[in-house]
Amino acid sequence: MSKPFTIGPLNHVGVAVPSLPDAIETYRALYGATDITEPFDMPAQGVKVCFVNLPNSQIELIEPLSEESPIWNFVQKNPKGGQHHVCFEVDDIHDAVSVMKERGATVLGEPRIGAHGTPIIFVHPKNSNGVLIELMETPKGDH
């Protein structure tokens, strides 16, 4: 008998920003963060990202690549940036999609490869008290 579906550990909090270099400087100068990954483009998702590595999680800093980016409107409405999503790990992304749909949630799009190189989906904020939830398949070899 398989175990019931539950979300796993918090993986990261996504923060949309108008400028990655400015945001990186904020986390370095204001918060003393020293372990920040090199920014990289994700053209398929329309964003440039980097991670602020913390002892127990990560902060994903996300900058839109263009006006076609899915976070462009978010940054236009929040010109200084803001919390965009919360990401939890799951054992199997396809199982997560099935369970979310069975439980009445709106899954946004199909599973796709996220910034950690593993499959992800997003669950509409209307299903989660106004918070956009990312579910990410736990990277193999982690935990």
Distance (Å) of CA 122 to CA 31, 40, 111, 112: 29, 21, 9, 10
CB atoms within 10 A of CB 133: 20
Say if residues 135 and 93 touch (Cβ distance below 8 Å). yes
Say if residues 123 and 135 touch (Cβ distance below 8 Å). yes
Q: Which of 25, 41, 23, 9 is nearest to 137 (CA)?
A: 9
Annotation says 134 is catalytic: yes
Active-site annotation holder among 60, 63, 89, 134: 134
Q: Please, what's the largest Cα pairwise distance for the chain?
A: 51
Return the C-alpha torsion angle 94, 115, 16, 44, nearest 10.
-80
| Residues annotated as part of the active site | 134
